[in-house]
Amino acid sequence: MMKPSFVKSIARNAARTIALASCAALSLAASPPQPAPKPTPTAKARQQLAAKGNWNGTMSVTADGSHTLGNPDAPIKMTEFVSYTCPHCAVFHREADPVLRTTLIPKGQIQVTVTNLLRNPIDLTIAMLTSCGDPNRFWVRHNAFFASQDQWLAAAQKLTPEQLARWGQGEIPARMRAIAGDLGFYAKMQQWGIDRARADRCLNDAAMLDKLRAQQSAAGSLGLTGTPSFVINGEVQQVHDWEHLSKLLSDRAAALQAGRI
């Protein structure tokens, strides 16, 4: 059984979320039992990976259920706080992901961590589903939900009053099942070999909910209220888009090559 305390604040926003009068109702301003993950590579294995330029294949899961990509010993460690219903996050992901995967990540200069800043029941549902199944396939699911955001947000705006009512009534797992069904998330999960029964078990996973609670707590302790937000080497950055973040990262990478960090 999921604890109601964690979802209380999310549930309070359910009426606003399920109204879905416009995309803005779901977006944020760009402002201030799962399979065990594969073990972290040994120092020797890391050196071998670095020699091959293969840090894109190095993934892990943190204690709070966040997902990391890249060299665990990278001098630049960046955490991205995301909301799946945030259009700014989708734009950032589309612009940043291919660049990072072909530059700083394979070189071992940066490790990227994705964590959730939940703002509504749809965010909660997707966060539970992206963490469902093989943890090393998280990035495939993560990418796909952002890539198809326009489609399922558009579908959300066409729901009937009866469908929307199911989003705001009953136990939280039942609400998430309604969201997953109405927005086509079960079909999406099926593409990755996760059938509806398994997806429903994930939506009822109290342990994962605890981890998402920890992610919310981490965001709150940092004073984060909007997405995407970024923390680099423990410091909150006052940038919220790829244009400005890429310059910041380029400067740090240049300093790396100059031996200053």
pLDDT (tens digit per residue) in 22-48: 333 333 333 333 344 444 455 555 545
Residue 6 counted as domain residue: no
- Which region among 21-30, 117-126, 197-206, 228-237 has the lowest average model confidence (pLDDT)? 21-30
Taking 60 as the threshold, does the pLDDT of residue 9 lie above it? no
Residue 132 counted as domain residue: yes
Q: Residue 196: which pLDDT band, with cuts at 50, 70 and 90? A: very high
Q: Look at the block and give the residue holding tokens 């909007």.
A: 226
The CATH number given to whatever domain includes residue 248 is 3.40.30.10
86 against 11, higher pLDDT = 86
Q: Closest by alpha carbon to 34, among 105, 129, 104?
A: 129
Quick check: helix, strand or coil at residue 59? strand
Model pLDDT, residue 102: 95
Taking 80 as the threshold, does the pLDDT of residue 50 lie above it? no
Q: How many CB atoms lie within 10 A of CB 42?
A: 9
Can you count the helices (H) and strands (E) in the chain?
13, 6
Model pLDDT, residue 166: 92
Residue 26 counted as domain residue: no
**Structure token digits, residue 244:** 């400005």
Model pLDDT, residue 209: 95
Model pLDDT, residue 112: 98
Residue 100 counted as domain residue: yes
- Could you give the number of structural domains in the chain? 1
Q: What is the mean pLDDT of residues 61-89?
A: 97
Domain that holds residue 186: 43-258
Residue 135 counted as domain residue: yes
Q: Give the angle 36-217-31 at the CA atoms, nearest 5°.
A: 110
Instruction: Report whether 179 contacts 125 (CB < 8 A).
Output: yes
Q: What is the mean pLDDT of residues 99-127?
A: 96
Residue 161 counted as domain residue: yes
Residue 38 counted as domain residue: no
Mean pLDDT for the chain overall = 85
Containing 121, the helix (H) or strand (E) segment is helix 121-130
Model pLDDT, residue 149: 98
Residue 197 counted as domain residue: yes
Percent with pLDDT over 90 in the chain: 75
Do strands 76-82 and 110-116 pair parallel, antiparallel, or not at all (unpaired)? Answer: parallel
Containing 127, the helix (H) or strand (E) segment is helix 121-130
